[in-house]
Structure formats: C-alpha cells, structure tokens
C-alpha cells in the first residue's frame, strides 16, 4: 500500500512536466514559423491538444511562453556546447569542432535558427539578451582568443570573427528554401551527403579566413 501511495503522489508531477514540455514543443514550432508577433495561443493549443486555459495555467501569457521557449533553446545549446570540451583541444581543432556542431545542429533543428532570426527581426533581441549568451559564444570566443594569442590565427576582433563564423553556419539552414533553387530540382539541402559537403567547405573557408596555420 505504501508503494502505491508513492506512485500516486509522483504521477501528477510527471504528467505536469509532460504537459509543460508538450506545450513548449508546440510553441517552438509556432514561434519558429511566425515569431512572437504572429503566434496565436489558439494555434499552439491546437498543435498540442490542450486547452488555451491550460497554456495560461502553466505560462500565464504568450510572452512568458515565448520566454520559456527561448530559455529552453539556449539551455539545450549550452549543454551541447559544454559536451564538446573544446578547451581541451587545440585552437584549430576547437574552432572546427564548434563550426561543425553549430552547422549540423542548425540543420537537424531548423527551429533554432528560425527562432533566433525572428527574435532579432521582431524583438530586436529583447528576449535573447535575457538568456545566458556566454554558453553559446563563450567557447568560440575563448578558442579564437587562444588561437590568436598563440599565433595560430591572424589577429582580428574576436566578436566580429565569432559573429561571422556563426552566420556562415546558420545561413545555409535559414535560407535553405531560397538556396535550393540553385541546385537541380528535388535536391535536399539537408540530406546527409549535402550537409557533409557543405560542412567541409564551410570549415575550409572558416580556417582560411582565420589564417589558420
């Protein structure tokens, strides 16, 4: 009887967490498509199969829901970057690892790039700046600085350099529906072969631009 009681207490918590995550997943899809301005709570509710009142119960309003989506996005990317352990690599290896990871992650999770672009266009980075940007740019900036100090890279402003490198990584994903018209009809720009080819070329360009030795 005691075990049954414990299960009965924990179940609602699991259900609440599952419901919250389901709402966040649906909201991420909606915000990635139309941004904060165009998103409708009704559409998010329809995507996840809950009521609009349930969304308000968990997040109070659309702005808080959007903020939660952005925070989860940055938290996941931060954990992904941390798992690379780039501080243990040489500057060239570190930058190559980060560039490959960012490009592949953006391709595998296209919502991420769309959310970041729409956040800048619609909100001028208001919610983006509330997150821990250091978890995203910190490892790359540190790797660039190490390389410049060691003479492995040409000296340049690290922030401008990092911004350009990240831009090269995510543009391919963000503009894929425009860029696909440059290739024969039916070419999937996010197929494994196309991604690998694009990644290799991007890596060569990045390292060449850095004056890597």
Mean of the per-residue pLDDT values of the chain: 89
- Domain range 2-209, CATH architecture: Orthogonal Bundle (1.10)
pLDDT at position 103 is: 94
User: Of the ranges 8-12, 64-68, 72-76, which one carries the lowest mean pLDDT score?
Assistant: 8-12
pLDDT tops 60 at residue 15: yes
pLDDT tops 50 at residue 3: no
pTM: 0.86
pLDDT in tens, 86-137: 999 999 999 999 999 999 999 999 898 899 899 999 999 888 887 766 677 8
Q: What are phi and psi of 187, to 5 degrees?
A: -70, 130
Region 134-153 average pLDDT: 91
C-beta of residue 110 within 8 angstroms of C-beta of residue 164: no
Burial class of residue 178 (count of CB atoms within 10 Å of its CB; 0-12, 13-18, 19+): exposed
pLDDT at position 14 is: 59
C-beta of residue 30 within 8 angstroms of C-beta of residue 43: yes
114: Cα separation from own chain's centroid: 9
Domain boundaries, given as residue ranges, for the chain: 2-209
Q: How much of the chain exceeds pLDDT 90, in percent?
A: 73
Q: Residue 59: name the closest of 111, 21, 112, 33 by CA.
A: 21
């Amino acid at each position: 009887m005691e075990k049954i009681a414990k299960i009965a207490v924990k179940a609602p918590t699991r259900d609440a967490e599952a419901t919250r995550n389901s709402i966040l997943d649906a909201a991420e899809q909606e915000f990635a498509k139309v941004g904060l301005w165009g998103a409708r709570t009704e559409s998010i509710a329809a995507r996840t199969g809950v009521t609009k009142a349930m969304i308000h119960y968990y997040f109070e309003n659309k702005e808080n829901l959007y903020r939660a989506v952005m925070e989860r996005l940055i938290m996941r990317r931060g954990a992904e970057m941390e798992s690379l352990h780039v501080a243990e690599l040489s500057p060239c290896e570190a930058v190559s690892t980060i560039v490959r990871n960012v490009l592949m992650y953006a391709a595998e999770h296209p919502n991420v790039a769309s959310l970041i672009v729409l956040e800048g266009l619609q909100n001028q980075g208001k919610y983006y700046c509330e997150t821990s940007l250091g978890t995203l740019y910190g490892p790359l900036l540190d790797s660039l600085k190490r390389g410049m100090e060691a003479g492995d890279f040409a000296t340049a402003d690290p922030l401008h350099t990092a911004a350009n490198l990240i831009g090269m990584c995510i543009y391919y994903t963000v503009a894929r529906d425009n860029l696909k018209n440059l290739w024969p009809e039916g070419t999937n720009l996010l197929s494994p072969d196309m991604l690998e080819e694009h990644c290799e070329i991007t890596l060569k360009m990045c390292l060449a631009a850095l004056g890597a030795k």
